[in-house]
């Protein structure tokens, strides 16, 4: 059950550029959060910016009653959070949303991250290590500077495959390049997980559909409340028994969705139906 | 210290009510909030049938405000009565249903369904949603249609009838009086202000619907002015709405003549706002030697104007 309470900042660490690791005290999130879930956060009670922001949970520490976020200061909300000093108070509602589904035993989890979309995958990697699962993280960005979390992903039992569009680190090209190369060579069963820019997640969804693979995507639309009351964050998703897509709240029915059921921007109903048919073996 | 207020025959244990569209159907907050802290809850707007709502994106942040075009996505009044009402019954909080319609007949029909359902304290009549193509603001933008809808709802129910007025009109007192004459028991003032936000790179509206309704602290002075005008124009009580995020904000509306207030956009910022506002409201009343929140209502000293109570306007 999510809790709405003040969360003091426990620690703040700059990772270079606009990237920060922020750790907050919030017992319920620390105890109950699952990989893929998120919190709604706002620095203090100031009038600006008006709304809280959703952030995927990077890690939890139930013993210390804390959770951590990986935040890029890109706009008013994230910048205000990143400017907090330890002891400052944030408003926090969490943990929220539907988590990732764990891969079946013996299935390799292929995590595809774009930029700060990597945040939930550290948490998922922890879970995989704990449960003895196998995983590989394709971590993409425009340049090496967009992969500041790279050094913090050790010890998760994940094979890390960095990719940069300018070739400054790892594979040269988009993150889907090493993903497809791995899929071409993979022998056993795999399951895809994607979090990042919409275009990247859509690309992963197409790859999954073309290869009849299961894939989960973590969507990130603007959110008002985080708990299903404002209906501001809806996305077009086709349920198993639906004749057509319905608007579903990314905050309560997501943010994690089966990629084959998402009607992506620019797609129409018929395309969604085709995708649905193709998405299952 | 008395915080309880009575509006349209409905007793609210305090004057803070969650505004329609900002608190879902209330049950979303079960387990997160103690719903009995609230004076009341107004449901998300309900038609006879379920609705998809407006295309995305549906919300955009603006300076101290929120521009939205949700388009009244909802489950329909029968599903609400069947699935939600029994869950809300456990919580000690006055429930108002926000009634919508594409036609006068639909408003009446939704009202009739509510009339026979247990646990509904009153009906707020939504004649002011700017984000639907039919109905909505059309009824709230023409005083004759306002009269027609309110009269039809009045005829369809024994429940208190509380039209929610639009700020997107020239003179709100004309609409306030039309609603009063048609049999309204109280008024909710105001709904969102019609707005447009533009993505200058794409040269397109930032909302999927195009225009949207502006809410939040940005609209508060407009809302206080219109609620004040409406309260002076009618004998029925007025519930003030618009950008309330603190006890001081709520007091502005009470002093302006509102008997109760609704908190809207601030629910998204902090759904725990009610406890904080109530604490600060009590502290303000104590500091000013008041032992009843009702004694603050309509105490605005406005230079050059008689207070409405002086002319017998307070029933």
Q: How much is the ipTM here?
A: 0.92
If asked whether residues A175 and A264 sit together in one domain, one would say yes
Please indicate, yes or no, if residue A227 is contained in any of the structural domains.
yes
If asked whether residues A78 and A115 sit together in one domain, one would say no
Residue B137 has pLDDT above 80, yes or no: no
On whether any CB of chain A is under 8 Å from the CB of B44, the answer is yes
Cα A28 versus chain centre, distance: 20
Residue B140 has pLDDT above 50, yes or no: yes
Give the model confidence (pLDDT) of A241-269 as tens digits. Answer: 878 899 999 999 999 999 999 999 888 66
Query: Strand, helix or coil at A151?
Result: helix
Torsion of CA B67, B71, B77, B82, to 10 degrees: -70
Are B32 and A2 an interchain contact pair (Cβ–Cβ within 8 Å)? yes
For chain B, the average pLDDT equals 94
Interatomic CA distance for residues A8 and A23, integer angstroms: 9
Are A42 and B23 an interchain contact pair (Cβ–Cβ within 8 Å)? no
- Looking at residue A242, its pLDDT comes to 79
**What phi, psi does A170 have (nearest 5°)?**
65, -150
- Looking at residue B96, its pLDDT comes to 98
Give the model confidence (pLDDT) of A219-244 as tens digits. Answer: 999 999 999 999 999 999 998 887 88
Cα B251 versus chain centre, distance: 16
Structure tokens that stand for A280 in this block? 């299952």
A·B CB contacts under 8 A: 98
The range of the structural domain enclosing residue A116 comes to: 108-278
Please indicate, yes or no, if residue A103 is contained in any of the structural domains.
no
Give the range among A82-96, A194-208, B298-312 with minimum mean pLDDT. B298-312
Residue A273 has pLDDT above 60, yes or no: no
Please indicate, yes or no, if residue B209 is contained in any of the structural domains.
no
Altogether, the residues listed in chain B come to a count of 315
- Looking at residue B307, its pLDDT comes to 58
Structure tokens that stand for B256 in this block? 């302006």
Q: Which of A44, A67, A96 is the last residue of a domain?
A: A96
Residue B12 has pLDDT above 60, yes or no: yes
Angle between helices B143-156 and B104-115 (to 10 degrees): 30
What pairs with residue B125 in β-bridges?
A: B99, B163
Mean pLDDT of B115-142: 87
Name chain B contacts of A3, Cβ cutoff 8 Å.
Answer: 32
- Looking at residue B308, its pLDDT comes to 55
Interatomic CA distance for residues B60 and B288, integer angstroms: 39
Tell me how many domains chain A contains: 2
Nearest to B59 among A3, A224, A236 (CB): A224
**Residue partners of A116: CB distance under 8 A and separation at least 6:** A19, A70, A71, A72
If asked whether residues A162 and A122 sit together in one domain, one would say yes
CATH number of the domain within which A81 lies: 2.40.30.10
On whether any CB of chain A is under 8 Å from the CB of B216, the answer is yes
- Nearest C-alpha in B relative to A224: B268
If asked whether residues A68 and A175 sit together in one domain, one would say no
Please indicate, yes or no, if residue B63 is contained in any of the structural domains.
no
Cα B9 versus chain centre, distance: 17
On whether any CB of chain B is under 8 Å from the CB of A232, the answer is yes
- Looking at residue A234, its pLDDT comes to 97
CATH number of the domain within which B47 lies: 3.20.20.70
Give the range among B39-43, B87-91, B257-261 with minimum mean pLDDT. B87-91
- Looking at residue A240, its pLDDT comes to 81
Mean pLDDT of B227-244: 98
Name chain A contacts of B272, Cβ cutoff 8 Å.
Answer: 4-5
Structure tokens that stand for B299 in this block? 């105490």
Longest Cα separation, chain B: 56
Please indicate, yes or no, if residue B68 is contained in any of the structural domains.
no
Interatomic CA distance for residues B244 and B252, integer angstroms: 9
If asked whether residues A79 and A10 sit together in one domain, one would say yes
Interatomic CA distance for residues B232 and B46, integer angstroms: 30
Give the range among A168-182, A202-216, B121-135, B292-306 with minimum mean pLDDT. B121-135
Interatomic CA distance for residues A235 and A212, integer angstroms: 23
The range of the structural domain enclosing residue B164 comes to: 5-53+73-197+215-311
If asked whether residues A91 and A113 sit together in one domain, one would say no
Q: Which of A96, A116, A151 is the last residue of a domain?
A: A96
- Looking at residue A280, its pLDDT comes to 40
Please indicate, yes or no, if residue B64 is contained in any of the structural domains.
no
Nearest to B31 among A1, A52, A221 (CB): A1
If asked whether residues A113 and A90 sit together in one domain, one would say no
Residue A64 has pLDDT above 50, yes or no: yes
Give the model confidence (pLDDT) of A16-52 as tens digits. Answer: 999 999 999 999 999 999 999 999 999 988 878 999 9
Are B52 and A45 an interchain contact pair (Cβ–Cβ within 8 Å)? no
Residue B36 has pLDDT above 50, yes or no: yes
Burial B254-285 (b: 16+ CB within 10 A, else e): bbbbbbbbbbbbbbbbbbbbbeebbeebbebb
**Residue partners of A68: CB distance under 8 A and separation at least 6:** A21, A22, A23, A24, A57, A58, A59, A60, A61
Selected residue of B22, B269, B271, B274 to mutate for chain A interface (largest A Cβ count, 10 A): B269
Mean pLDDT of A158-166: 96
Whole-Å CA distances, B303 to A280, B20, B229: 72, 34, 15
pTM (predicted TM-score): 0.93
Tokens 């049999």 sit at which residue?
B183
Between residues 270 and 309 of chain B, which touch chain A (CB distance below 8 Å)? 270-272
If asked whether residues A84 and A115 sit together in one domain, one would say no
Q: What strands lie across the sheet with B65-68, from one edge to the other?
A: B59-62, B65-68, B212-215, B193-195
If asked whether residues A181 and A147 sit together in one domain, one would say yes
CB A90 within 8 A of CB A7: yes
Residue A278 has pLDDT above 50, yes or no: no
Are B32 and A227 an interchain contact pair (Cβ–Cβ within 8 Å)? yes
Give the model confidence (pLDDT) of B152-207 as tens digits. Answer: 999 999 999 999 999 999 999 999 999 999 999 999 999 999 999 999 999 999 99
Tell me how many domains chain B contains: 1
Between residues 23 and 82 of chain A, which touch chain B (CB distance below 8 Å)? 42, 45, 47-52
Q: Which of A96, A118, A137 is the last residue of a domain?
A: A96
Please indicate, yes or no, if residue B283 is contained in any of the structural domains.
yes
Q: Is B129 a catalytic residue?
A: yes
For chain A, the average pLDDT equals 93
Mean pLDDT of B19-30: 95
Q: Angle CA(B8)–CA(B10)–CA(B13) in degrees, nearest 5?
A: 130
**Options B100, B114, B129, B258, the catalytic residue:** B129
Over its C-alpha atoms, chain A yields an Rg (Å, rounded) of: 18
If asked whether residues A73 and A131 sit together in one domain, one would say no
- Looking at residue A154, its pLDDT comes to 87
Q: For residue A274, what pLDDT band results from cuts at 50, 70 and 90?
A: low
- Looking at residue B306, its pLDDT comes to 64
Interatomic CA distance for residues A116 and B24, integer angstroms: 31
Cα B233 versus chain centre, distance: 18
If asked whether residues A165 and A216 sit together in one domain, one would say yes
Residue B310 has pLDDT above 50, yes or no: yes
CATH number of the domain within which A200 lies: 3.40.50.80
Interatomic CA distance for residues A231 and A233, integer angstroms: 6
Interatomic CA distance for residues A119 and A128, integer angstroms: 15
If asked whether residues A135 and A253 sit together in one domain, one would say yes
Percent of residues, chain B, with pLDDT higher than 90: 91
Give the model confidence (pLDDT) of B84-125 as tens digits. Answer: 999 998 999 999 999 999 999 999 999 999 998 999 999 999
CB A171 within 8 A of CB A163: yes
Kind and range of the H or E run holding A14: strand A3-14
Report the half-sphere exposure of B287 (CA within 13 A, side-chain side): 7
Interatomic CA distance for residues A262 and A258, integer angstroms: 7
Please indicate, yes or no, if residue A222 is contained in any of the structural domains.
yes
Mean pLDDT of B217-222: 98
- Looking at residue A281, its pLDDT comes to 34
Cα A228 versus chain centre, distance: 19
Burial B45-78 (b: 16+ CB within 10 A, else e): bbbbebbebbebbbbbbbebbbbbbbbbbbbbbe
Mean pLDDT of A103-126: 96
The total of other beta-carbon atoms located within 10 Å of residue B105's CB is: 12
């Amino acid at each position: 059950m999510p809790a709405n309470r003040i969360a003091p900042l426990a620690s703040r660490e700059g990772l270079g550029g606009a990237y920060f690791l922020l750790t907050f005290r919030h017992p319920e999130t620390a105890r109950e959060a699952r990989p893929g879930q998120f919190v709604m956060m706002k620095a203090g009670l100031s009038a600006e910016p008006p709304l809280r922001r959703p952030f995927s949970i990077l890690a939890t520490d139930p013993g210390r009653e804390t959770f951590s976020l990986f935040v890029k200061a890109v706009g008013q909300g994230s910048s205000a959070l990143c400017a907090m000093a330890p002891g400052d108070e944030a408003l926090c509602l969490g943990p929220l949303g539907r988590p990732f589904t764990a891969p079946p035993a013996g299935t390799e989890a292929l995590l595809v991250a774009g930029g700060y979309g990597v945040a939930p995958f550290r948490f998922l990697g922890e879970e995989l290590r704990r449960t003895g699962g196998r995983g590989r993280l394709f971590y993409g960005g425009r340049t090496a500077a967009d992969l500041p979390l790279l050094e913090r992903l050790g010890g998760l039992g994940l094979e890390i495959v960095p990719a940069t569009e300018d070739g400054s680190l790892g594979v040269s090209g988009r993150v889907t390049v090493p993903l497809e190369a791995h899929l071409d060579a993979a022998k056993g069963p795999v399951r895809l997980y994607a979090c990042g820019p919409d275009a990247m997640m859509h690309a992963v969804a197409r790859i999954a559909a073309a290869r009849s693979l299961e894939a989960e995507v973590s969507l990130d639309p603007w959110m008002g409340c985080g708990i299903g009351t404002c209906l501001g964050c809806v996305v077009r998703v086709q349920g198993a028994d639906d004749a057509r897509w319905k608007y579903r709240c990314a905050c309560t029915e997501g943010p994690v969705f089966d990629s084959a059921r998402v009607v992506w921007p620019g797609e129409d109903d018929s395309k969604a139906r085709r995708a649905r048919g193709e998405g299952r073996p | 210290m008395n915080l309880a207020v009575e509006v349209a025959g409905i007793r609210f244990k305090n004057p803070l009510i969650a505004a329609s569209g900002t608190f879902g159907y209330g049950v979303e907050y079960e387990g997160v909030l103690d719903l009995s802290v609230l004076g009341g809850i107004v449901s998300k707007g309900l038609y006879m049938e379920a609705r998809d709502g407006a295309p995305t994106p549906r919300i955009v942040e603006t300076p101290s405000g929120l521009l939205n075009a949700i388009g009244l996505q909802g489950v329909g009044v029968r599903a609400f009565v069947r699935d939600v009402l029994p869950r809300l019954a456990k919580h000690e909080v006055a429930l108002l249903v926000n009634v919508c319609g594409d036609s006068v007949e639909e408003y009446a029909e939704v009202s009739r369904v509510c009339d026979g359902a247990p646990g509904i304290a009153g009906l707020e009549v939504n004649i002011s949603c700017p984000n639907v193509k039919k109905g909505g603001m059309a009824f709230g933008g023409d005083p004759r249609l306002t009269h027609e809808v309110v009269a039809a709802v009045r005829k369809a129910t024994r429940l208190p009838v509380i039209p929610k007025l639009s700020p997107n009109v020239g003179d709100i007192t004309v609409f306030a009086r039309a609603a009063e004459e048609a049999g309204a028991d109280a008024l909710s003032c105001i709904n969102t202000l019609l707005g447009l936000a533009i993505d200058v790179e794409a040269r397109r509206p930032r909302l999927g619907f195009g225009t949207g309704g502006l809410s939040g602290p940005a609209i508060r002075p407009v809302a206080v002015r219109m609620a004040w005008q409406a309260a002076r124009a009618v004998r029925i009580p007025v519930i003030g709405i618009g950008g309330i995020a603190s006890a001081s904000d709520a007091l502005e509306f009470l002093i302006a003549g509102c008997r109760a207030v609704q908190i809207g956009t601030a629910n998204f910022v902090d759904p725990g706002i009610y406890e904080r506002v109530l604490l600060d409201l009590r502290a303000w009343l104590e500091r000013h030697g008041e032992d009843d929140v009702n004694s603050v209502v309509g105490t605005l000293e406005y230079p050059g104007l008689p207070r409405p109570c002086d002319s017998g306007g307070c029933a």
